[in-house]
Amino acid sequence: MTDDRLDLPQGTLDLLILKALSLEPMHGWAISERLQQVSRAALQVPQGSLYPALHRLERRGWIKAEWGASDNNRRAKYYQLSRTGRKQLDAETEAWARLTTAVALVLDMG
């Protein structure tokens, strides 16, 4: 199966999750759907690594989880950004911007 979708660079999955959750609390499946939609299906979010990543973020206290009813009234685990998570998102967004700018500069040097 040929696939022109991009693999996520190491460490960016956490950033994407935090960004997705900064808009509204979501459950795991919704996060994976959202990431695919927003990236116009260009990003390959491995569903298998989504849950370990969520639990890692929860352990660090960047996101909080609680059980709630989903749109069709089923129990789902909703994740939402914590205060430290929001700070972390800002820091990582800025770091990412600096990184991409720097990489772009290097690639532009002719």
Partner 1 sequence: MFSELWSDLRYRVRALVHRDALEHELDDELRFHVEREAEKYERVGMPRGEALRRAHLALGGVELTKEQSRETRGTLMLETIWQDVRYAVRRLTRTPVFTITAIATLALGVSGTTAMFSIADTLLLRPLPYPTGDRLMVVQTVSGHSTSGTVSSYPDYLDWRASQHSFDDMAALAQRNFVLVRKDARRVPAALVSASFFPTFGVTAEFGRRFSDADDQPGAPAVMVVSDAFARDEFGDPRTAVGQSVVLNGASRAIVGVIPDRSRYPSSVEVWMPIETGGYDGNHTRRGDRDLEVFAALRPNVSLDAARHDLATIATRIAHEYPESNAEVSTMTTPLRDRYVSSARAALTAMIGATILVLLIACANVAALQLARAVTRTREIAVRAAIGASGPRIVRQLITENLLLALVSGALGAVLALWARNLMARVVAPNVPAWMTFDLDGRALLFALSMSILTGLAFGIVPTMRLAGVRATDLLRGGVLGSSRARLQRMLVVVEIALSIILVVGAALSLESVLRMQQIPLGLDPTGVLAFDVTLQGPRYDTPAARATLVASVVDRLRSIDGVMSAGATDRMPIKGCCSQFSARIEGQTVASGHEPLITGIIATSGYFAALGIHVVAGRAFTDGDDAHAPPVSVINETFARKYWPRGDAIGHHVNGAMIVGVVQDIKQTSLTAAPEPQFFQPFAQNPWTRATFAVRVRGDPLAVVAQARRAVREVDAAMPVFNVQPLQRLVEQSILPTRSLGRLLGAFGGIALLLAATGLYGLISFLVERRTRELGLRVALGAEPGRVARLVVREASVLAAIGAVSGIAVAILAARWLESKLYGVSAMQPAIYVIAAGVLGAAALAASYGPARRASRADPMVALRME
Applying CB under 8 A, the residues found at the interface with partner 1 are: 27-29, 46-49, 51-52, 55-56, 58-61, 67, 70, 74-77, 84
Express the helix, strand and coil content of the chain in percent, nearest 5 each: 55, 20, 25
Q: Which is nearer to partner 1, 19 or 56 (CB)?
A: 56
Q: Which is nearer to partner 1, 71 or 108 (CB)?
A: 71
Q: Which is nearer to partner 1, 40 or 75 (CB)?
A: 75
Shortest CB 86 distance to partner 1, Å: 13
Q: Which is nearer to partner 1, 40 or 74 (CB)?
A: 74
Phi first, then psi: give them for residue 42, nearest 5 degrees: -80, -25
Shortest CB 9 distance to partner 1, Å: 19
Q: Hey, which residues does 64 pair with through a beta bridge?
A: 80
Question: Helices 28-38 and 12-23, interaxial angle, to 10°?
Answer: 100
Shortest CB 94 distance to partner 1, Å: 18
